[in-house]
């Protein structure tokens, strides 16, 4: 998933290691099936309604993450080393 905004990669870094197999399958489908990555961005930021087939628990997690309740600075993509870290 390639977006101008870094939050999808930051979301993956924070959440993939603790997702269930079902959630990982939903996430995989979400990031691979829509034809336009901007759609995912608009759904996550609630700028556009999410289609029913993608309006599931992982999209809810992504929407919550996009709200940035902790007011974290999210200015850059994370380093890819997180892909090789052991699960927590």
pLDDT digits 0-9 by tens, 3-25: 444 456 778 878 888 999 999 99
Residue 33 burial (CB count, 10 A): 10
- What average pLDDT score do residues 33-47 get? 85
**C-alpha dihedral sign at 69, 78, 81, 29:** positive
Give pLDDT, residue 4. Answer: 43
- pLDDT over 60 at 40, yes or no: yes
Query: Residues 54, 57, 62, 63: what is their CA dihedral angle, to the nearest 10 degrees?
Result: 90
pTM score over 0.85: no
Instruction: Name which residue leads in pLDDT, 85 or 63.
Output: 63
State pLDDT tens for residues 53-74: 999 999 999 998 888 666 655 5
């Amino acid at each position: 998933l390639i977006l101008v905004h870094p939050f999808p990669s930051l979301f993956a870094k924070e959440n993939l290691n603790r997702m269930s197999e079902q959630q990982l399958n939903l996430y995989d489908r979400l990031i691979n099936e829509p034809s336009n990555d901007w759609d995912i961005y608009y759904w996550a930021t609630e700028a556009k309604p999410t289609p029913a087939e993608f309006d599931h628990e992982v999209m809810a997690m992504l929407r919550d993450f996009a709200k940035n309740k902790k007011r974290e600075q999210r200015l850059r993509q994370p380093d890819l080393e997180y892909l090789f870290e052991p699960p927590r």
